[in-house]
A and B are shown apart, each in its own frame.
Chain A
Amino acid sequence: MSTAHRSAGYAFGFLDDRAKKELRRAMLKAVSIPGYQVPYASREMPIARGFGTGGLQLTLALIGPADTLKVIDQGADDSVNAVNLRQFIELTCPGTRTTKRTAAATLIQTRHRIPEHPLRADQILVLQVPYPDPLVVVEPSEERRKTMHGEADYARLWVKLYEDMVHFDEITFSHRYPTRIAGHYVIDPSPIPRWDVPKLHRAECLYLFGAGREKKIYAVPPHTDAEPLTFDDVPFRVEDFTDPATGRRRACSRCGATDSFLDEFVDDLGRKTHQCSDTDHCLARLDARATAVAAAFAA
Chain B
Amino acid sequence: MSPLPDAILEVSGLARLHGPGCGRCVAATGPEAGTNVCTNCGTVVACADIGFELMRGEVLGVIGESGSGKSSLVRLLHGDDTPTRGAVRFRDPAQPDAVVDLLALDARQARRLRNTRFGIVYQNPHLGLNFAVSAGGNIAERLLMSGEKRYARIRSRVAELLSRAEVPASRMDELPGRFSGGMQQRVQIARALATDPALLFLDEMTTGLDVSVQARILDLILELQHQLGVSMIAVTHDLGVIRMLASRTLVMKTGRIVESGLTDQILEDPQHAYTQQLVASAL
Direct A–B touching, Cβ under 8 Å: yes
A-B contact pairs, 14 of them (CB 8 A): A151-B107, A151-B111, A152-B108, A155-B115, A158-B149, A159-B133, A159-B140, A162-B137, A163-B133, A166-B137, A166-B173, A231-B154, A232-B149, A233-B152
**Contact (Cβ within 8 A) A156 B141:** yes
| Nearest CB of B to A64, in Å | 41
Most chain-B CB neighbours within 10 Å: which of A147, A152, A233?
A: A233
Q: List the B side residues contacting A150 at CB < 8 Å.
A: 107-108
Q: List the B side residues contacting A238 at CB < 8 Å.
A: none
| Nearest CB of B to A291, in Å | 48
**Contact (Cβ within 8 A) A147 B151:** no
CB within 8 Å for A153 and B149 given contacts A162-B154, A166-B134: no
**Contact (Cβ within 8 A) B141 A233:** no
Name the contact of B151 in the complex, choosing from A151, A152, A153, A165 (C-beta under 8 A).
A165
Name the contact of B137 in the complex, choosing from A151, A159, A234 (C-beta under 8 A).
A159
**Contact (Cβ within 8 A) B134 A163:** yes
Q: List the B side residues contacting A162 at CB < 8 Å.
A: 136-137, 140-141, 144, 151, 154
Interface residues of A in 141-177 (CB under 8 A from B): 147, 150-153, 155-156, 158-159, 162-163, 165-167
Chain A residues at the B interface, C-beta cutoff of 8 Å:
147, 150-153, 155-156, 158-159, 162-163, 165-167, 231-234
- B contact residues, total (Cβ < 8 Å): 21
Given A150-B107, A162-B154, A234-B151, 5 more A-B residue pairs with CB atoms under 8 Å apart are A152-B108, A159-B137, A163-B133, A163-B134, A165-B151
Task: Name the residue on A nearest B154 (C-beta).
Answer: A162
Q: Is the interface of B mostly helix, strand, loop or mixed?
A: helix
Q: List the B side residues contacting A152 at CB < 8 Å.
A: 108
Q: List the B side residues contacting A147 at CB < 8 Å.
A: 107
**Contact (Cβ within 8 A) B151 A231:** yes
**Contact (Cβ within 8 A) B136 A166:** yes
Interface assignment of B213: CB less than 8 Å from any CB of chain A = no
| Nearest CB of A to B247, in Å | 34
| Nearest CB of B to A4, in Å | 54
Most chain-A CB neighbours within 10 Å: which of B137, B141, B150?
A: B137
**Contact (Cβ within 8 A) B144 A155:** yes
Interface string of B116-149 (1 = CB under 8 A from A): 0000000000000010011011101100110001
What are the 9 A-B residue pairs with the smallest beta carbon separation, nearest first? A231-B151, A158-B144, A151-B108, A155-B145, A159-B141, A162-B140, A232-B150, A232-B149, A163-B137
**Contact (Cβ within 8 A) B150 A233:** yes
**Bound-state Cα–Cα, A232 to B137, Å:** 17
Q: List the B side residues contacting A158 at CB < 8 Å.
A: 140-141, 144, 149
